[in-house]
Structure 1
Amino acid sequence: MRHTLPLTPQFYVTAPQPCPYLEGRMERKLFTALQGENAHRLNDSLSAQGFRRSQNVLYRPSCADCAACLSARIDVAAFRPSRSQKRILRRNTGVTRRATSPWATEDQYDLFRRYLDSRHADGGMADMDVFEFAAMIEETPIRSRVIEYAAPDDAALIGVCLTDVLADGVSMVYSFYCPDRSRDGLGNYIILDHIEIARAAGLPYVYLGYWVPGSQKMGYKAKFSGLEVYMGGCWQQMRDPENFEPDNHPLSNDPIAEQVANISLPDMARDRG
């Protein structure tokens, strides 16, 4: 008997756990598997509806009493670098970029460990070993690239970004960089470079992940002009992040069944013979 994957994605909800961004809050995620020959189409469609990819899973925050986490992207055509961002570009003159297939290396993992130990020693990824790191990089059913950045002086690896190529942009799945070069603003530089990557490819957006008003960890994303956030079922221009209040009302989110019913799915059978 031949077994096939279901044409309609099945959605599930994680158990509540402490929120890593807002103290005293509990987080919950709505997720579905990313698999099969139409994985790229599902990823494109759900990414445009606020979902993010982690290996073979697409997820979106679906907390019971909070809607503060907002998917964020940069409109490349509307972006204009600030003075500080121009300084970052100048400081990193000579940094070289190399795009490779999603394959993990020892140099990447060494940099990843230094980054975590310095910046996120108590985070959820702090205990990730080399095999879990390889899975994060390599387990992708869609078009993904590893973007590596090398120092201008000795060509040492100083930055890495796992990047998905979507129909309407590039999605920065996860980035890390040399913690010893804090003055160079490498985290912001990698975003600035991805804006150039998208522009050169004729893609309109750079997807940044989630922006959480009130969370210092996410504050840097609001400093990019042309920022849009997904809320109320559509993308909206971020006009004044300083005065943006997180939505913590207990009725912020619709029930899970309504959320799933409102998700627009692609025609998963279109490519089937």
Structure 2
Amino acid sequence: MRHTLPIAPQFYVTAPQPCPYLDGRMERKLFTALQGEGADSLNNALSQQGFRRSQNVLYRPSCSDCAACLSARIDVRAFEASKGQKRTMRRNRALERRATSPWATDDQYELFRTYLDTRHADGGMADMDVFEFAAMIEETPIRSRVIEYVDKTSGDLTAVSLTDVLEDGLSMVYSFYDPDQPQNSLGTYMILDHIKIAREAGLPYVYLGYWVPGSPKMGYKARFSGLEVYHRGAWQKMHDPKTYEADTHPLSTDPIAEQVANISLPDRWPTRK
């Protein structure tokens, strides 16, 4: 007689390391592997609970003395472009969007290296070589796309986003762009274009990753109307960013065991015979 056992995901915690967003703090992540037949279901379920994908891993901040990092998404139905954002769209009218399968190219890597060397030379990805870059783009067990933005006049690759297609939206996993065009606000433009894509596809949300109050690197996300943050176990519309500053204080994070116990897994989970 054969018996079936559920392949339940196992959750782990990384060792503490310096926080890249807030000086003097240490970061720690709760994570699980993303693999097998249930990868799509697990990715959808955990993305709706503040997790993010990195290759074959889903993770969420779980710092011992800080809960500043908040998963952020835009409700595309509630979004209204500001005057500045409308100008950004007009300034980038020369760009053509091209959606492809997740396949790394030399042009992408060259743009990626230029972006890192200019904007994030001391970041955690600064030493990423071409093989690691290819793995970041190509190692995805779920439905993903590479969205390229090409200058229609010169043919130059100007910006790229690795984007996951979720059941309730688009998740911008990682984006990079030509750092020599600060006047064009390319990072903002890509988000605006993803809002347009989501609307056309009938998807309600665009997931942006984490917003960190008090971090200048993340301040731009708070400029989008319709922004929601995953705070204390639920999505809520963000009003005043200062409301969340208290979560940078100690004792604001639940114990690991309690966090894992409160994670909701997909209703149907694959079984192994």
Q: TM-score, length-normalised on structure 1?
A: 0.96
Match of 1:49 in 2: 49
Alignment root-mean-square deviation, CA: 1.7
Aligned ranges 1:175-194 → 2 under 5 Å: 175-194=175-194
Match of 2:229 in 1: 229
Match of 2:86 in 1: 86
* Partner Cα separation in structure 2 for residue 5 and residue 179 of structure 1: 50
247-256 or 170-179, which deviates more: 247-256
Counterpart contact for 1:16–1:26, Cα < 8 Å: yes
How far does residue 248 in structure 1 lie from its aligned partner after superposition? 2.4
* Partner Cα separation in structure 1 for residue 221 and residue 96 of structure 2: 23
Counterpart contact for 1:11–1:32, Cα < 8 Å: yes
Letter in 2 for 1:25: R
SS of 2:134's equivalent?
helix
Match of 1:161 in 2: 161
How far does residue 217 in structure 1 lie from its aligned partner after superposition? 0.3
* Partner Cα separation in structure 1 for residue 82 and residue 151 of structure 2: 24
Match of 2:199 in 1: 199
Letter in 2 for 1:133: F
Closer, same or farther: CA 124–246 of 1 in aligned 2, 3 Å: farther
How far does residue 152 in structure 1 lie from its aligned partner after superposition? 2.9
Match of 1:255 in 2: 255
* Partner Cα separation in structure 2 for residue 202 and residue 120 of structure 1: 34
Q: TM-score, length-normalised on structure 2?
A: 0.96
How far does residue 63 in structure 1 lie from its aligned partner after superposition? 0.3
Matched, 1:215 2:215: yes
Closer, same or farther: CA 104–246 of 1 in aligned 2, 3 Å: farther
Count of equivalent residues: 271
SS of 1:116's equivalent?
helix
List alignment gaps of at least 5 residues for structure 2.
Answer: none
How far does residue 271 in structure 1 lie from its aligned partner after superposition? 8.5
* Partner Cα separation in structure 2 for residue 269 and residue 252 of structure 1: 32
241-250 or 89-98, which deviates more: 241-250
Closer, same or farther: CA 10–223 of 1 in aligned 2, 3 Å: same
* Partner Cα separation in structure 2 for residue 45 and residue 133 of structure 1: 27
Closer, same or farther: CA 271–82 of 1 in aligned 2, 3 Å: farther
SS of 2:208's equivalent?
strand
SS of 2:7's equivalent?
coil
How far does residue 61 in structure 1 lie from its aligned partner after superposition? 0.2
How far does residue 241 in structure 1 lie from its aligned partner after superposition? 1.9
Counterpart contact for 2:6–2:272, Cα < 8 Å: no
* Partner Cα separation in structure 2 for residue 31 and residue 246 of structure 1: 25
* Partner Cα separation in structure 2 for residue 218 and residue 246 of structure 1: 17
Match of 1:116 in 2: 116
* Partner Cα separation in structure 2 for residue 136 and residue 6 of structure 1: 29
List alignment gaps of at least 5 residues for structure 1.
Answer: none
Match of 1:127 in 2: 127
Q: Tell me the alpha carbon deviations over residues 66-105 of structure 1, each in whole angstroms, 9 at most, x when there is no partner.
A: 0000000000000000111011001011310000000000
Letter in 2 for 1:92: N
Q: Tell me the alpha carbon deviations over residues 92-147 of structure 1, each in whole angstroms, 9 at most, x when there is no partner.
A: 11310000000000000000000001100110000000000000000000000000
Closer, same or farther: CA 6–139 of 1 in aligned 2, 3 Å: farther
State the identity %.
76
Letter in 2 for 1:29: K
